[in-house]
Amino acid sequence: MRLFIAVPVPGRLQDLLAREASAIAGCRGVKAVAPAGMHLTLAFIGERDASEVSRITEIMAEAACLAEPFEVTCGGVIAFPLRGHPRVAAVPCTGGVEQLGRMHYFLVDNLGLAEKNRFIPHITLARFARYDRDIEAQYRKLVRECTIRQRFAAESLVLYASELHPSGARYRKVSEQPLS
């Protein structure tokens, strides 16, 4: 199964982010993330056997002990990768970064994950299958007009299983651990 660990995003914020993403979602080659699929990924684990879930859950529980519930602040829009043609539009997190980073690096180290890029906490809004002038214009408009400046409480870590479908990824909660 394809696994990742994330901080869940409240429904009211998911709905707000989906409204912002709708500005570019109508472009050919752009796929907006469904509101229910919006989360703040701390560690992408990848394909793992079901027999490993127990050990992964134990490590996630240890990571959850590294922070008490805290406030996450997010706002604006950025694109990933930071250089070259963007593949993702996201809302970066600017508050709570220390706690998010502490848990991220603990998970990466203890799950034996290879880190490809520097950790930048964010919530993905949309993915680009291609990138052209029309999408560039809509993306720039989204960046200029984005009014997102939100706070939410990070209260738990969730281990999700991700199933890829033509209509987009579907996520199933495998386990949840409150921050303590």
Q: 74-121, pLDDT tens digit by residue?
A: 999 998 887 877 889 999 999 999 999 999 999 999 999 998 788 999
**Quick check: pTM over 0.75?**
yes
Strand partners, 150: 74
Residue 167 has pLDDT above 80, yes or no: no
Residue 2 has pLDDT above 90, yes or no: yes
174 and 50 Cβ atoms separated by less than 8 Å: no
pLDDT digits 0-9 by tens, 117-153: 889 999 999 888 877 888 788 788 788 888 889 999 9
Q: What pLDDT is stored for residue 144 in this prediction?
A: 83
Q: Give the pLDDT band of residue 17 (cuts 50, 70, 90).
A: very high
Q: What pLDDT is stored for residue 22 in this prediction?
A: 84
Tokens of 40: 């703040």
5 and 60 Cβ atoms separated by less than 8 Å: yes
Q: Are strands 88-95 and 70-75 parallel, antiparallel or unpaired?
A: antiparallel
Q: What pLDDT is stored for residue 58 in this prediction?
A: 98
Helix ranges (H only) for 11-80 are 11-25, 53-64
Tokens of 2: 């394809």
Nearest to 67 by CA among 32, 107, 34, 25: 107
Residue indicated by tokens 């291609």: 130
pLDDT digits 0-9 by tens, 21-76: 887 777 778 888 999 999 999 999 999 999 999 999 999 999 999 999 999 999 99
Nearest to 74 by CA among 7, 154, 151, 153: 151
Domains of the chain: 2-178 (3.90.1140.10)
